[in-house]
Amino acid sequence: MAKEIKWYKVVEHLNMLQFEPNSMCVVEIDGKKITIARHNNALFGFAYKCPHASGVMVEGYINALGNVVCPLHRYAFNMQNGRNVSGEGYYLKTYPVEERADGVYVGMEKAGFFG
């Protein structure tokens, strides 16, 4: 069964997101930090910390191929699906991000009743 997504509005307008020079910023939803990246006019959401050894992704950079690179050991991840494109076998949790007429939304899986 597909997981249900709950959408959270993080700002009223895209230009309220404080992107760093590396085109990433951090938002908080229910106390959970999420990285948002902007690349080629698309928005991507993914975990605050790297799955390898908890590098803070917002301190990394987006490489020429449009993958996010962790600042600690330079593992690279596809921002769309979290695939570890540098081949170490990790997976970066991703979140859908949508720019809508009334704000920017991040989708998170709803916690199910049965786990």
Q: Could you list the residues that contact ligand FES (CB under 6 A)?
A: 50, 52-55, 70, 72-73, 75
Nearer to ligand FES, 16 or 53 (CB): 53
Q: How far is the CB of 52 from ligand FES (least distance, A)?
A: 3
Nearer to ligand FES, 27 or 50 (CB): 50
Q: How far is the CB of 30 from ligand FES (least distance, A)?
A: 24
Nearer to ligand FES, 57 or 97 (CB): 57
Q: How far is the CB of 102 from ligand FES (least distance, A)?
A: 35
Q: How far is the CB of 51 from ligand FES (least distance, A)?
A: 7
58: phi then psi, degrees, rounded to nearest 5 = -65, -15
